Structure 1
Amino acid sequence: MKTLLRLLSKIDRPGHFTWLAALFFMAFAPAAMAADIKLEAESGTRNGVTVASSMAGYSGTGYVQGFDNSFAKNVKFTFNLPAAGIYELSIRYATPSGEKGYVLEVNGQQSSGMFTNVTGFGTAQGGMFSLPAGANTITLGGGWGFYFIDFINLASANIPLPAKPPKTLSDANATVSTKNLFSYLVDIYGSKVLAGQQEINELQEIDYVRTHTGKDPAVGSYDLIEYSPSRIQYGSNPAGFSERAIAWAKKDQGRGIISLMWHWNAPTDLINQSPDKLWWSGFYTRATTFNFAAALADKNGANYQLLLRDIDAIAVELKKFQAQDIPVLWRPLHEAAGGWFWWGAQGAGPFKELWKLMYDRLTNHHQLHNLIWVYTAERAKPEWYPGDAYVDIVGIDIYENTAVASNLSGQWTELQNLFNGKKLVTLSETGNLPNPEYIRTFKTWWSWFAVWPGAEYTRKQPTSLLHAVFNDPDVITLDELPDWRKSGAVTGSALEQALSQLEVYPNPANGTHLTMKTMARSPMKATVGLYDAKGAKVTEVTAQLVSGQNQVRLPLRQVPAGIYVLSIRKGNEQVCRKVVVKK
């Protein structure tokens, strides 16, 4: 090593220095990196659980068993970290009685996850956590229970930005507006998140959000549930719900983005018994005996024709949006792998067949070319995925029973492992507002989020949090949407295309400096400036950007609190980002 250091000290030719320095770090840096921290379950503090060793393949002196649905039965780890940082947490577990859920609490912040069914011991990704130096506490238990825990592992995390997928829709005949909307979603992926809100007939949640934030969501999410023929047979009246969604989409020069889902009441065989199997809950597996696998197997049968009848009824509504040149983020057959909806009750194979039937019926038979197909995934269940040819975006629905919203990095990481660079990933439903600080820290750049409506969800969010999220500089609302129908409206300039992975942090900023980081395709000289709400220049630096990674720092010591615009200029072109400064 001393010989190599002497060589490095004598080299003054940049190319040689870079090569030898790289050799040095490849050879010796791993030894200096922090080692993983392994927390054996049998060494933790056990509450209502016991150590066992009868199942082979465990680490250490045993594993912990006896977990059930109560979080009171848990194993608790208290440990010291030598340095603060972001750590990736993984859990080695066993599920001898099938798939199970669990609850994880890290320094008081709860999250939940799933242990898939494995033979022997397997490993689950628990997510990423920002941990301080010194004492830390992790507790694991509850969920669905009845699993074994071998150990928890913590490793220093290197979090990449998500890779952008191709701007190619599954429908080659998609309308121009639909293609341009998808292009816009790809352009902002990894740097901004679209604010969304789920709407239902009885409530006016978008109005509620506007009242408490001064903003409309960028994505209005609506449900075609009442158009299900079996609901209409019982007297359901949609009362122009599609027209209401269309009217919202036309706000602000028609820039509103529409998402449509369909809680599909089973076409027939509704149980219609109280208390929880009445006709209006016929989308639940518990409320119907309809066997769609059998219906799909008999294409000449009456039940197969009922499937087509129902899809055709929804096509009537979707055509209203196409007639108004409104693209739709179309999210049917959601949460199938959970099994609680009838379209998931017969397993992955029949579900995928039903998805493909609907895709063909709407796209080819009804010539609906305004649909962007959004598949709602379940964690670590790729066998349910219909296939790239039938899906444009992958979403996940997350409801965590916790007062403090988790960072959702575990769910994000699992989907990125399956779809990074292939599909956009979105938070299609959530019970809690995502925290923008977590999004920036853990790079969980969901394409959009949509909070479920009602007293248990949207209206349970603190109004201060609702206002903060919808006014965050990295959360896009309706008033901030560009005219995405025009090709190149977002990244039309050569400068925007030349600067990829553009990040501005911290944002909101409350320190002495603001940092702009970007990847430049080629060397260039640019001016980076900060401007106040009136357009007056606050501070400015000239930067010589190199090909590759660049960082530019702007001083903030004398900058008062407020909303600013960061401008990167080259000649007559500029790229802008909104920045919030807090003091």
Structure 2
Amino acid sequence: MTLPLPLIRESFLQARALWVVVFLLTAWPAQAQEIKLEAENATRNGVTVGNSLAGYSGTGYVQGFDNSFAKNVTFTVNAPAAGIYDLAIRYATPSGEKGYALEINGQRTEGMFSNVPGFATAQAGKQYLNAGTNTLVIGGSWGYYYIDFIALTPATIPLPAKPPKTLTDANATTSTKNLFSYLVDLYGTKVLAGQQENNLLQEIDYVREQTGKDPAIGVYDLIDYSPSRLQYGANPNNHSENAITWAKKDQGRGIISLMWHWNAPTDLINQSPDKLWWSGFYTRATTFDLAAALADKNGANYQLLLRDMDAIALELKKFQAQDIPVLWRPLHEAAGAWFWWGAKGAAPFKELWQIMHDRFTNHHQLHNLIWVYTAEPNKQDWYPGDAYVDIVGIDIYENSATASNHSAQWTELQTLFNGKKLVTLSETGNLPNVEYIKSFGTWWSWFAVWTGPDYIRKQPIPLLQSVFTHPDVITLDELPNWRTYGTLTGLALEEASGGLRIFPNPSANGKLTVEMTATSARATTFILLTSTGKKVASVKQKLQEGQNVVQIPVQQLPAGVYVLLVQQGKERFTRRVILQK
């Protein structure tokens, strides 16, 4: 996790279902134009106008920002219509990468400015504006930057593209493939609820007590299995076994995510107040040099890296022995450099990730892992590579008084990974606003709130209840039997069905037609499922060689996103279907 930050209070945006919002926001009048506002003409608080850096627009730019939000520039934005707009900020960062805070009509979020020469444009995500006057404030966070102008244009809200159902481990277990298939099918329609667990605090029990629901994903930390912690007497308290017990709840449908705050293998400083042995995963608490260890593959420190990985592999094998797939999220937040595995830069981190992937997959034959990489804004050079990553996550701890729509972070990750990888909110200090997820289209695969009194236990109980009972949030009791759900076992069938066409899709007239080209006569079943795996329609038909037409009855079904499962014997594949009324 990152630095502790105050609680974000929920501020719901009233919005309709996503497809309604998409329709409204793609129906902007043809004359709708960009709104561009120069910073030097805005209201300034503790900042000044400069013109020494070439390349600015207008008559100058605003400078003098620091870490205080009291130093800011306030824009008055007159919007021709209420709706969601794309926000671009023209900026410069003379002293390296910086962070900024943004507040629109009292709703606050945060973002990053990359370190680029001269002026550049940051895409600050999608923002909701009222018709008429709106107030937009930029300032604070951390850094010294210049603001040249802002620009807003009416936005469209696309659904995220689904990535291929192909894991980096070609030998992944059937259950692991099935879980990933379910995650891909669900992506862009619902969000899975997750919760970081703590043996002492028992956070999942707390969520259940307050909401009557278990999260769909239990997130556990293998921190105390680090050999250097065990050497000082750390007690894991059967954390792995507790996770396995929870995963077997509700007919074994609980989804497990594991992370590892890896205590440095050696060279712990072990000095008070903030460098004690138990904080040895922090850069400040160890002198362990990852780059040096990797440079000498025969050296003692490299062997200690392998020793530690082997110790964690033993824990992961406990899950594999119980046929439990794991959303495996190691080496998180590396680009922040506050953990030792990121302290020496991108290259050593990527090498360590790739070594771990190879050692776990090939040396230890662990085939129950779905590899989740935690990205940092504007840090593309830290990405280990498509061959080593299955899902991309982001950890967000925003210092905000109101709920953020997280659109800026979502937009950045979609720019890099849309159609390639699932994107998830792997760690958050606060519950997300589900109405924002719907209206801004930030369809994280899942979210997981951090543990402790400053995080999940500080969420208002009505908010906690509303999120865990929201129809667009999937909890444990709503999970399908993902072990057999939507498995891509029929790759040859899908390739042979390249002529499959579903129309109309989106469907708005209560009729759904499937055209499918068959290479030979064969009995085929077409099953329509809800996003949670409930079967709502089924048609069996013997296809003839050549083109076939199949009618799926959908007149009585409510509007929403569905999954069409096409099955021939043991072979199957899926397609997404959208019904509108």
TM superposition score category, shorter chain reference = 0.7 to 0.9
Q: Name the counterpart of 1:115.
A: 113
Matching residue's letter, 1:247: T
For 1:257-276, list aligned pairs within 5 A: 257-276=255-274
**Larger Rg belongs to:** 1
The answer to whether the 8 A contact 2:501-2:515 is kept is: no
Could you say if the C-alpha distance between residues 31 and 487 of structure 1 is closer, same or farther in structure 2, counting changes exceeding 3 Å? Answer: closer
Aligned to 2:4: none
Equivalent pair of 1:502/1:519 in contact (CA under 8 Å): no
C-alpha separation in 2, matches of 1:63 and 1:423: 38
1:553 Cα offset (Å): 11
What is the one-letter code of the residue matched to 1:474? D
Report runs of 4+ in structure 1 exceeding 2 Å deviation. Answer: 29-33, 487-492, 496-503, 515-523, 551-554, 564-570
Partner of 2:172: 174
Residue type of the alignment partner of 1:174? A
Task: Give 1:6's aligned residue.
Answer: none
Structure 2 match to 1:444: 442
Q: 1:576, CA displacement in angstroms?
A: 13
Residue pair 1:190, 1:501 contacting (<8 A) in 2 also: no
Q: CA deviation at 1:127?
A: 1.4
**Structure 1 residues 190 and 569, CA gap change in structure 2 (3 angstroms):** closer
Change (3 A) 1:131 1:96: same
Q: Distance in 2 between matches of 1:569 and 1:389?
A: 27
The answer to whether the 8 Å contact 2:405/2:437 transfers is yes
Structure 2 CA distance for aligned equivalents of residues 516 and 266 of structure 1? 60
Aligned to 1:38: 36
Provide closer, same or farther for how the CA distance between residues 553 and 72 of structure 1 changes in structure 2, counting only shifts above 3 A: farther
- Partner Cα separation in structure 1 for residue 107 and residue 483 of structure 2: 41
Alpha-carbon shift at residue 33 of structure 1 (Å): 3.2
The superposition leaves residues 116-148 of structure 1 with CA deviations (integer Å, 9 ceiling, x where unpaired) of 111111111211112110110000000112111
Distance between the aligned counterparts of 2:51 and 2:209, measured in 1?
58
Q: 1:293 aligns with which of 281, 291, 294?
A: 291
What letter corresponds to residue 83 of structure 2 in structure 1? G
2:131 alignment partner in structure 1: 133
Mark the runs of 5 or more structure 1 residues left unpaired by the alignment. Answer: 1-28, 504-514, 531-545, 555-563
Runs of 5+ consecutive residues of structure 2 not aligned to the other structure: 1-26, 495-499, 517-527, 531-548, 568-574
Which residue of structure 1 lines up, in the alignment, with residue 358 of structure 2?
Answer: 360
- Quote the residue 2:338 is aligned against: 340
1:54-98 deviations in whole A, cap 9, x for unaligned?
Answer: 000000000000000000000001121111111011111111101
Does residue 253 of the first structure (1) align with residue 251 of the second (2)? yes
Corresponding residue for residue 425 of structure 1: 423
Deviation digits for residues 13-72 of structure 1 (CA, Å, limit 9, x no counterpart): xxxxxxxxxxxxxxxx99933111111110110000000000000000000000000000
Which of the numbers 440, 454, 457 marks the counterpart of 2:455? 457
1:64 and 1:207, CA in 2 relative to 1: closer, same or farther beyond 3 A? same
Amino acid at match of 1:350: P
State how far apart, in whole Å, the 2-side matches of 1:394 and 1:211 are: 31
Partner Cα distance (1:376, 1:518) in 2: 42
Q: What pairs with 1:538-557 in structure 2 (closer than 5 Å)?
A: none
Alpha carbons of structure 1 residues 230 and 76: separation in structure 2 relative to 1, 3 Å: same
Kept in 2: contact 1:115–1:124 (CA 8 A): yes
Measured in 1, the distance between the counterparts of 2:561 and 2:296 equals 62
The whole-number CA distance in structure 2 between the counterparts of 1:567 and 1:342 is 43
- Tell me how far apart the structure 1 counterparts of residues 172 and 51 of structure 2 sit (CA, whole Å): 58
The corresponding residue for 1:63 is 61
Asked if 1:97 is matched to 2:103, the reply is no
SS of structure 1 residue aligned to 2:229: helix
SS at match of 2:56: coil
Contact 2:185/2:576, CA 8 A, preserved across alignment: no
* SS of equivalent residue, structure 2 residue 360: helix
Give 3-state SS (helix, strand or coil) of 2:405's partner: coil
**Deviation digits for residues 225-257 of structure 1 (CA, Å, limit 9, x no counterpart):** 000001111110112110000000000110000
Amino acid at match of 1:249: A
Residues 357-388 of structure 1, C-alpha deviations (whole Å, 9 max, x = no match): 11111111100000000000011211000000
- SS state of the match for residue 261, structure 2? coil
Name the structure 2 match of 1:19. Answer: none
Say which of 408, 414, 417 aligns to 1:416: 414
Superposed displacement of residue 500, structure 1 = 9.8
Q: Which amino acid aligns with 2:104?
A: V
Count of aligned positions? 510
Superposition RMSD on alpha carbons, in Å?
Answer: 3.5
Deviation at 1:202, TM superposition (A): 1.9
Shift of 1:203: 1.1
Q: Which amino acid aligns with 1:315?
A: A
Corresponding letter in the other structure for 1:263:
H
Q: Is the contact made by 1:216 and 1:478 (CA closer than 8 Å) also made in structure 2?
A: yes
**Distance in 1 separating the partners of 2:563 and 2:333:** 45
C-alpha distance in 1, partners of 2:511/2:503? 6
* Distance (Å, rounded) in 2 between the aligned partners of 1:249 and 1:408: 30
Structure 1 residues 463 and 518: alpha-carbon distance in aligned structure 2, compared to 1, 3 A threshold: farther
- Give the equivalent residue in structure 1 for 2:78: 80
| SS in structure 1 at match of 2:437 | helix
Instruction: Classify 1:383/1:255 alpha carbon distance in 2 versus 1 (closer, same or farther; 3 Å).
Output: same
After superposition, residues 146-157 of structure 1 pair within 5 angstroms as 146-157=144-155
- Separation in structure 1 between the aligned mates of residue 510 and residue 350 of structure 2, nearest angstrom: 42
260-269 or 198-207, larger mean C-alpha shift: 198-207
* 1:437-479 Cα shifts (integer Å, max 9, x gaps): 1111011110000000111110111111111111111110000
Corresponding residue for 2:184?
Answer: 186
User: Cα gap change, 1:499/1:188 in structure 2, threshold over 3 Å: closer, same or farther?
Assistant: farther
1:180-579 alignment to 2 at 5 Å?
180-488=178-486, 498=502
Deviation for aligned residue 1:552? 9.1
Give the letter for the 1:184 counterpart: Y
Contact 2:253 2:479 in 1 (8 A): yes
Change (3 A) 1:246 1:283: same
